[in-house]
Every structure is written in structure tokens, then in C-alpha cells.
Amino acid sequence: MTLVEELKWRGLIENITDPALEEKLNEGGLTFYIGTDPTGDSLHLGHYSTFSMATRLKKAGHHPILLVGGATGLIGDPKPSAERPMITKELLQHNYEHLSKQVKDIFGFEVVNNYDWSKDINFIDYLRDYGKFFNLNYMLNKETVKSRLDVGITYTEFSYMIMQALDFLWLFEHKGCTLQIGGSDQWGNITSGVELIRKKTGKDAYGLVMPLITKADGTKFGKSEGNAIWLDRNQTSPYEMYQFFLNVEDSKVIEYLKMLTFLPPEEIMAIEKRFEQEKEKREAQQVLAREVITFLHGEDAYQEAVKISERLFSGDIKDLTVEEIKDAMKGVPCYFCQNDTDLVSLLVDASICSSRREAREFITNGTISVNGDRITDLNFVVSREQAFGNRYTVIRRGKKKYYLIEHE
């Protein structure tokens, strides 16, 4: 397979601005950029598919640049449904610093900030040097703008397209950048940059967009959707990411293997064949989790996630560290306890059991475990001294239901 053939096989090319780009991609040697606005202090899984695409191009001999939008982030890319809230310059700078470090650490890309060349452009020059190259009808026909006309769009948001086009022009003139890549929702902004370069310089530049990664129900992975899987391990731990990938729908897992991993096509096709025959083994999900977590956080983080998962499944959690307990118990019901208390009362107070009678039955039947030990003593007392790090007690009811008691 050529590079382009493989990218198409992986489902990573939705549209390009010029068929001539395919040969240039196969040859190598392009400088290209991918942009993101620092509206948060971490990338998420929605970003990862486009950033891993940039990594593929880098491995094929192209030079990537990441643009973090210190200027465009102050304006906000138009959303299809409503205007984005403005964020403060202080928060944006905080986010910029975190994103820049994250991208350099994970991907090793050169990072630039469009605030550096945008901050000194005065309004008259902006209109004369850039605005005159944009036909109003052309801008109104862009999908992101068109979708907002009924509910209204401010001039600030309307200007975002010009600002992003200006970025492409600056990188073209100062960095020799001839290609911009992004998600399919950026097609209008990317093509505007291609047109601005052509009109200002008479030279060619190119754009490529990828499909947005979605769940089986069609929803995106992003913070706006409220289901973000963050690339910062302090916001989404390797264990949480492992559980997410382990529970990926069968209908999407092969698509994700193609889009999110660097496994060769023949290996993915072999996995797909085995997966179709024995889906219950969830081999494809396990491979997906291993590949993404190892790329982002390293082999040790992946092995730690597997260890936590296996311990929780078996109930043998005694050798987990306090940090591993915190990771494992994110999202489970939590009850704050100030004093040592008998187990029967605690099960009722923490809503683990509906009544003292039910609590006694569960204990007598061996259904309740505390910190990995099955408890059958009705007089058992849960104390801070027995807790992980003198802070966390883990109660398991049955085989799957976990509860966290935090000692205050």
C-alpha cells in the first residue's frame, strides 16, 4: 500500500482540496499544520484521531507543526447551535502552557501560537490586507456559518474564518507550510486558508480533513458532549481509559483500531477475522486499549490498568496502592464516614443495603467484602486504621458492585 492507500483504508481521509495532494503525500517532505484552540488544558480522544494522523504523516517523512490558538481561542470557532462562551486571557494562557507541554511530551511536534503574529495587526490593516479577499456570499455558504443564520451569529464568530485563514497564510510564508489537516468540521476554515494563499501569493496550498470519531450512536467525543476521555492521565487515568476501550461497542472497535492505532493493516485484518469468530473474547477491545494507552502513557501505565482491572474482577484488592484505589473507585458510590462504625449500620447509612435486616442477610451469606476480605461477622467494625492509607475503605457487594467509604 502507498501512504494514501493506507490512510483511505483506515478511513482517515474524508476530503482533500486537490487530487494532486495524493502524490505529494506519497512522496513525503511536506510541512503541514494542525490547529487547536486552548479552550481546555488537555487534549481528549476527539483530538487524538487527528493528532495520530499527524504522527502517521511525520513517520512518512512530513514535518508537523501544531498551532495552539492563543488568538483564535479568544474569539471561538462557531458552534453549529450556539455561541461559545468567551474565556479569560488568564485561563487561555494557562491552557496554552498545558497543551503545549502535553503535545511536545506525547507527540514531539513543533508548537506555535497564533497570538504571536496576530496581536499587532490593527483593524484597518486587517480589513485592507485580509478582509478584502473574502467574498461575503462565499463566507455565508460555509456550513458552520449557514447552520447559524437562523439563530444568529455575531461578527466576532463570523470573523473566525478569516483569522484561521490568516494563520495558514502566515505559516505558508514563514514556515513553508503548504498543508493544513483537521477534522471534517474544519473544512470551511481550511478551504478559506487555501483560497487566501492563492489570492495573495498566486501559489498552491492544500487541505485534508478526516472524519470525526464518533460512538455507535453518532455522538462525538468531546468536552462539549460531556463524555470526554482526556489524554491527561490526571483527568482520565490509564485505568479509566482501559475500561472505556474495553467497553467499546463491537460495531465500532475495528474502526477504532484502524483510526487510533499504528498496527499494520495485515495485523488489524487478522484481529478482525478472529474477532468476528469469537466476539465474546473481546480481543479487539483489549488490543485497542493496549495500543492507545501504551502510546500515550507507556507500558507501565498499561500494565497498571490491567492489574487494577484484574484485581477488581477477582475481588483481591489488598495489594493495590492508595492511588490505584482512587483510580479504580472513580465513579462508584461514595460515602463519607467520620467515626468507626459497625458494618451493619454502615451498609444501611451508605445505601448499600436497604435495611438492617438485608444488611445482616448479606453479611451472613458472605456477600459483603471489606478491603478484599469476605466478612461474615455481624459485629465487624469498619475503622480508619484498616483503611487504605487510613482514608479509603472499599466495600464489595456480590461480584460487581463496589462502594467507597472515605474516612474524614
* Structural domain that includes position 362: 334-407
Backbone angles phi, psi at 391, to 5 degrees: -135, -40
Task: State how many domains the chain has.
Answer: 3
81 has a pLDDT exceeding 70 = no
Of the candidates 281, 408, 290, 405, the one whose C-alpha atom is nearest the C-alpha of residue 352 is 405
Predicted confidence at residue 226, as pLDDT, reads 57
Residue 55 is assigned to a structural domain of this protein: yes
Q: What whole-number distance in Å separates Cα of residue 169 and Cα of residue 37? A: 18
CA distances from 241 to 62, 153, 209, 213, 237 (A): 30, 37, 26, 16, 6
Domain shared by 301 and 341, yes or no: no
Domain shared by 203 and 257, yes or no: no
Residue 324 is assigned to a structural domain of this protein: no
Residue 319 is assigned to a structural domain of this protein: no
Domain shared by 198 and 102, yes or no: yes
The pLDDT tens digits for 306-324 are 999 998 888 889 889 998 9
Question: Up-side HSE of residue 3: CA atoms within 13 Å toward CB?
Answer: 19
More confident position, 345 or 221: 345
Assign residue 170 the CATH number of its domain: 3.40.50.620
249 has a pLDDT exceeding 90 = yes
Assign residue 291 the CATH number of its domain: 1.10.240.10
Domain shared by 361 and 309, yes or no: no
Domain shared by 158 and 300, yes or no: no
Binned at pLDDT 50, 70 and 90, residue 331 comes out as confident
Residue 327 is assigned to a structural domain of this protein: no
Domain shared by 114 and 169, yes or no: yes
Domain shared by 204 and 249, yes or no: no
Predicted confidence at residue 77, as pLDDT, reads 73
Of the candidates 86, 84, 82, 54, the one whose C-alpha atom is nearest the C-alpha of residue 67 is 54
Predicted confidence at residue 399, as pLDDT, reads 85
Domain shared by 275 and 397, yes or no: no
**Among 149, 180, 213, which residue terminates a domain?**
213
Predicted confidence at residue 26, as pLDDT, reads 97
18: its cell numbers: 486537490
Average pLDDT in the chain: 91
Residue 232 is assigned to a structural domain of this protein: no
Predicted confidence at residue 139, as pLDDT, reads 74
Predicted confidence at residue 239, as pLDDT, reads 92
Residue 100 is assigned to a structural domain of this protein: yes
